[in-house]
Amino acid sequence: MKTTGHAPALTGAKISFLAVAAGLYLFGMAWAQGTKSANQSLEAPHADQAGVEAFRDVASVLLSPRCVNCHVPGNAPLQGEDGRLHNMNVKRAGDGRGTVAMRCTNCHQVTNSPVLHGPPGAPDWHLPPASTPMAWRGLSTGDLCRALKDPGKNGNRSVADLIDHMNTDLVKWAWSPGPGRTVPLMSYDEFISKLIEWKNDEAPCAP
């Protein structure tokens, strides 16, 4: 490059450039200091957003046919992928375990029937109490989130208790439901890690 002849002019330009750059840098530092607290408050909704997103995935599991066939608003369990009324006029009854003649465990054993359309099974197969049925179908993601967290609706459980509850036979059954039944879209381990992500973000709900 043949820049020698223009060296003095270039140096001048460089100096003023450096001066401007240094000025901008100092200004930037001052601005960063001054807006630090503002930035922190801007980060809060951003962090919430991660929790809200994690709950969206959690909701896809809660609304899967396997969960909502037991978590029903009415007095009878549902069955199948389309959530039709349980065959044979089975009813929730007082303890969620069926009427005297039609106890759930007359048919539902501790493991799945290996036969297509045979009764699925897990220990103590029953419906939640009528007073807190935790019926989630049809709720928006935000309403589902609030209902799940509401101690008046969830059997007086904290978010940590709810996560513990996911480690029970009836919940885990949804991932091995017997022949002909779909499983939730995400794996059990992913489901738990999404719940923990949501909890660690202070369990926010979408509006």
Which candidate, 56, 71, 95, places its Cα nearest to that of 174? 71
What is the chain's length? 207
Q: By CB under 6 A, what part of segment 53-72 binds ligand HEC? A: 61-62, 65-67, 69-71
Spatial separation of the C-alpha atoms in residues 2 and 14, rounded to whole Å: 17
Nearer to ligand HEC, 16 or 156 (CB): 156
The CA angle 176-182-186, to the nearest 5 degrees, is 80
| Residue 112 contacts ligand HEC per CB under 6 A | no
Nearer to ligand HEC, 11 or 167 (CB): 167
Spatial separation of the C-alpha atoms in residues 167 and 174, rounded to whole Å: 12
Binds ligand HEC by CB under 6 A, chosen from 51, 59, 96, 144: 96
Largest CA distance in the chain: 106
Check: CB of residue 184 under 8 Å from CB of residue 166: no
Q: In the bound complex, what is the minimum distance in angstroms from residue 133's beta carbon to ligand HEC? A: 9
| Residue 104 contacts ligand HEC per CB under 6 A | yes
Positions that interact with ligand HEC (CB under 6 A): 61-62, 65-67, 69-71, 77, 79-80, 86, 88, 90, 92, 96, 98, 102, 104, 106-108, 117-120, 125-128, 134, 154-155, 157, 162, 165, 170-171, 173-174, 181
